[in-house]
Amino acid sequence: MADADSVTDMHDKTEKLRMVLPGDLIGISEEYTAGEWAFDENGNIYSTVVGTVVENQKKRVIGVKPLGNTPPVVKKGDVVYGMVSGIRSSVVLLDLAFIKGHEDREIAGDIQAAIHVSNVKKSYVSELKHEFGYNDIVKGRIIDPVTLRVDTSDPKHGVIKAFCSRCKIAMRRKNKVLECPNCERSETRKISTEYGMGLV
């Protein structure tokens, strides 16, 4: 599609990469039309994927370019981002998205890592479902690159973005829990000190 190409070309020449997560606000409909990998809701334009923001100034279209396909090799100590795809009794499964410092390169294929209940946080964990929710975005450190074990016990690691299990919209941090701005439901997580700050 010619339009998508021209959006990308323009972006690559002029803009610094702006990384976004699914559900991140990328623009408002007074200024832009939602382009690829974006949707408009109540005048706000949100990303639907992990990627970089692209905008066509002339046509006033803003969208997201999903991450590419060059596979970086995961090493011990790498800080990774992933999305929770499974919660079992002793492990949480993460679909790895990318490695910190290599945000422009997606991890190829469906690479699934695991956080064992003993690697969640320094204090005791009784139930993993109290620490993670489906589709949460998690930041953690690779402690075993062969079995792809991830540790989130560092205060900066853990859930950096979570969605209300009822409304599916992003929750806000309120003291030690997360609260849905829509239904006011509160949920617990192993919350990163970087919660809500995006990719830092």
CB 136, min distance to Zn ion, A: 14
Assess 88 for contact with Zn ion (CB under 5 A). Answer: no
Binding window for Zn ion (CB under 5 A); candidates: 47-55, 59-67, 104-112, 163-171: 163-171
Assess 177 for contact with Zn ion (CB under 5 A). Answer: no
One of 25, 28, 108, 183 touching Zn ion (CB under 5 A):
183
Assess 28 for contact with Zn ion (CB under 5 A). Answer: no
- Please enumerate, as own/partner, the contacts of 69-75 that have beta carbons within 8 Å and a separation of 24 or more: 69/106, 69/108, 70/105, 70/106, 70/108, 71/105, 71/107, 71/108, 71/109, 72/98, 72/99, 72/102, 72/105, 72/107, 73/145, 74/99, 74/107, 74/111, 74/142, 74/145, 74/148, 75/142, 75/145
Query: Between residues 54 and 180, which has the closer beta carbon with respect to Zn ion?
Result: 180
Assess 115 for contact with Zn ion (CB under 5 A). Answer: no
**Does residue 152 contact residue 143 with C-beta atoms inside 8 Å?**
no
Assess 180 for contact with Zn ion (CB under 5 A). Answer: yes
The residues of the shown chain that bind Zn ion, judged by CB under 5 A, are 164, 166-167, 180, 182-183, 185
